[in-house]
Structures are given as structure tokens and as C-alpha cells.
């Protein structure tokens, strides 16, 4: 079966690697255009482009898809199946309807929950205990197509989005390979639209901490936004980004710095309970253990974060 792959970031590159390792016939890869990166703003290849070129797979990077820009590629490759994993753009009908087996998507949630751009982050932020990967047949809606294969996994208590991202990338690749190998024998299952939830794009503002919420809720926000954009608050009027924290007992006005405890971190009151901030990035500093930061900087108790 001749396959055209469409994807852009690391998650998609992991999927492509799984397909290559399974000796599937990946005839080409479509990825978004290279983007400037770093201080020099030099164009950097996408993760999928790097992975594809490593395996000798031809890469196509159209600026747009809407006006038939990909049709010459489709006519050149004549794929029987298109696999999509975190490509980053909505596919128009002429692409979805081109292959014999249609387009299938590797989506990092248990559909119909968390349709949208950031399912991994929002599953953690919302305190879900499990998530997974769904291989679905694409239609013109946003992650609304029939489901072909689902794999589940538990979310660790303090598992970060970055850690879960890596695990789901591996699970997604394995699930995709199984789906393709058995595609003629799989009965698609329609999604229950009444049970759907939405996972919108993450922005920096998503990370603003509301200290009136419970320590458990704030902890999930911190985990869900690690490693980007990081949950944040303010300390004496300057931004304080929180990298890791643990839930503990404690009482006080929400956001109040209660103590700096050796081997535990900076204890801060929440709406209920408290948090030990372990790793953070204070203004003008790099990410570091809070106790290490405190050796060279005074951290005052009684200060209210976010005030």
C-alpha cells in the first residue's frame, strides 16, 4: 500500500519512524514550511522533514493547501492512504477524498474527548486520570471522523505534558502500524458527538495561576504547561515561572509565601491546601531549584504571589 505521510513536529516524526521501522511503503512526506529559529533566525527544518530525509523519503512543503496546491503531489505519488499526525492545518476535501483508503489521523486523546489542537495539555490540566491515542478516519470536521483503533494509558500524578507527549508519540506510532496492517478488517466506530470536549490552542495567558483554586488544580496546570509555556505568577511585581511543584498541606491567604523548607521548596498557600514550588524561573534568572536560587537571593515570607 502506497502511503503519503503528513506531519510536522516531534510527535509526527515519531509516528513516521514507526512506519518506516514497520517497512510500510511511505512514498512521500508533507510537512509545513521551515521556520526561522534561534537568535540568528535561520530557517530550521521541521522534525518530520529531518526524519524523512534521513530515510530518503522525498519531502514536500506547500505554503497552502486550500487552492489545490497539493494536487500535483497527489497525482505524482498516487497514494492509496494518507496518514496525518499533527500536521497543523485543516485538510480540504480534495485531499481527504483522494486516496482509496482515505485519510487517517493519529490523535492524542480518547475521542470524542479533547478534539482540537492541544489534547495532551488539556487532559493534564483538567485532571484526567487516563488518556490515550485514537486512530480515526478523517472527515471535514475537526477530529470528528469515525474511530478505527484506540489505545489507553494512565496519566501519572505529576506527569508533565512533555513526558506524556513522548509516551503518546510512541503509543501512537504502534497503534497506527497495527491499524494499517489490519485496515481491511476494521469496522469504523462513529464518535458520540454529545460526549465531545474541546482542546483549544495553548497560549502564554493559559498559564496564569489563579491562587484561589485548589493546590491540586494548580498542580495540574503546572504539569500541563511544562515545558511550554510554563505556568506563571508574579513575585514582587515580576514574572515568576513555575516548572515543578508538589501538593502539600497548608493554610493561608491564597498566594501567600508561607515558608522556604529545606529539601522541599517554597511553600505557597492555595485556595485549599498548599504547594511546594520546587523548580522555578525568577525574573532575570534561569530555571533552577528554588533553594539554589534562595542562596543568592532573599525570598520573603508573607509576600503574596500574583498580587
Mind listing the pLDDT tens digit for each residue in 44-90? 999 999 999 999 999 999 999 998 999 999 999 999 999 999 999 99
Q: 160 pLDDT band (50/70/90 cuts)?
A: very high
76 part of a folded domain: yes
Q: Is the pLDDT of residue 41 over 90?
A: no
> What's the whole-model pTM score?
0.95
Give whole-number Cα distances, 276 to 27, 127, 261, 271, 279, in Å: 51, 19, 9, 14, 9
Spatial neighbors of 268 by CB under 8 A, at least 6 apart, are: 211, 255, 256, 257, 258, 274, 275, 276, 277, 305
Domain end, chosen from 171, 199, 227, is at: 199
305 part of a folded domain: no
Domain end, chosen from 199, 223, 251, is at: 199
Specify the pairing of strand 115-116 against strand 198-199.
parallel
CA 253 – CA 269 distance, rounded (Å): 6
Question: Is 257 in the same domain as 192?
Answer: no
Per-residue pLDDT, 209 = 98
- Domain, as residue range, for 287: 204-294
Q: Is the pLDDT of residue 36 over 90?
A: no
The CATH number that applies at residue 279 is 3.10.25.10
The answer to whether the beta carbons of residues 269 and 256 sit under 8 Å apart is yes
Spatial neighbors of 109 by CB under 8 A, at least 6 apart, are: 115, 119, 120, 123, 131, 132, 133, 134, 199
Question: Is 188 in the same domain as 108?
Answer: yes
Average pLDDT rounded to a whole number, residues 26-34: 97
DSSP 63: S
Question: Is 156 in the same domain as 279?
Answer: no
The answer to whether the beta carbons of residues 87 and 12 sit under 8 Å apart is yes
Per-residue pLDDT, 68 = 94
Domain end, chosen from 199, 220, 249, is at: 199
284 part of a folded domain: yes
Question: Is 15 in the same domain as 107?
Answer: yes
Amino acid at each position: 500500500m502506497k502511503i503519503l505521510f503528513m506531519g510536522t513536529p516531534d510527535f509526527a516524526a515519531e509516528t513516521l519512524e514507526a512506519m518506516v521501522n514497520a517497512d510500510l511503503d511511505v512514498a512521500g512526506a508533507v510537512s509545513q514550511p521551515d521556520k526561522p529559529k534561534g537568535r540568528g533566525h535561520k530557517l530550521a527544518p521541521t522534525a518530520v522533514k529531518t526524519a524523512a530525509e534521513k530515510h530518503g523519503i522525498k519531502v514536500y512543503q506547500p505554503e497552502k493547501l486550500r487552492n489545490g496546491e497539493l494536487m500535483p503531489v497527489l497525482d505524482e505519488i498516487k497514494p492509496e492512504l494518507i496518514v496525518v499526525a499533527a500536521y497543523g492545518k485543516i485538510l480540504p476535501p480534495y485531499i481527504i477524498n483522494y486516496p482509496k483508503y482515505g485519510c487517517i489521523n493519529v490523535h492524542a486523546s480518547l475521542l470524542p474527548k479533547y478534539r482540537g489542537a492541544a489534547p495532551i495539555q488539556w487532559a493534564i490540566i483538567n485532571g484526567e486520570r487516563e488518556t490515550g491515542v485514537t486512530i480515526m478516519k478523517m472527515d471535514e470536521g475537526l477530529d470528528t471522523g469515525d474511530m478505527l483503533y484506540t489505545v489507553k494509558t494512565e496519566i501519572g500524578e505529576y506527569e508533565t505534558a512533555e513526558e506524556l507527549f513522548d509516551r503518546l508519540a510512541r503509543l501512537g506510532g504502534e497503534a497506527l502500524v497495527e491499524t494499517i496492517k489490519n485496515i481491511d478488517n476494521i469496522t469504523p466506530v462513529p464518535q458520540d458527538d454529545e460526549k465531545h470536549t474541546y482542546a483549544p490552542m495553548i497560549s502564554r495567558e493559559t498559564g496564569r495561576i489563579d491562587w484561589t483554586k485548589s493546590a491540586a488544580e494548580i498542580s495540574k496546570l503546572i504539569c500541563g504547561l511544562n515545558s511550554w509555556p510554563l505556568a506563571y505568577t508574579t513575585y514582587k511585581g515580576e514574572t515568576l515561572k513555575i516548572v515543578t511543584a508538589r501538593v502539600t498541606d497548608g493554610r493561608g491567604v491564597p498566594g501567600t509565601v508561607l515558608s522556604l523548607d529545606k529539601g522541599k521548596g517554597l511553600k505557597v498557600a492555595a485556595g485549599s491546601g498548599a504547594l511546594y514550588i520546587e523548580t522555578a524561573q525568577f525574573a532575570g534568572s534561569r530555571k533552577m531549584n528554588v533553594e539554589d536560587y534562595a542562596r543568592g537571593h532573599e525570598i520573603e515570607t508573607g509576600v503574596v504571589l500574583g498580587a
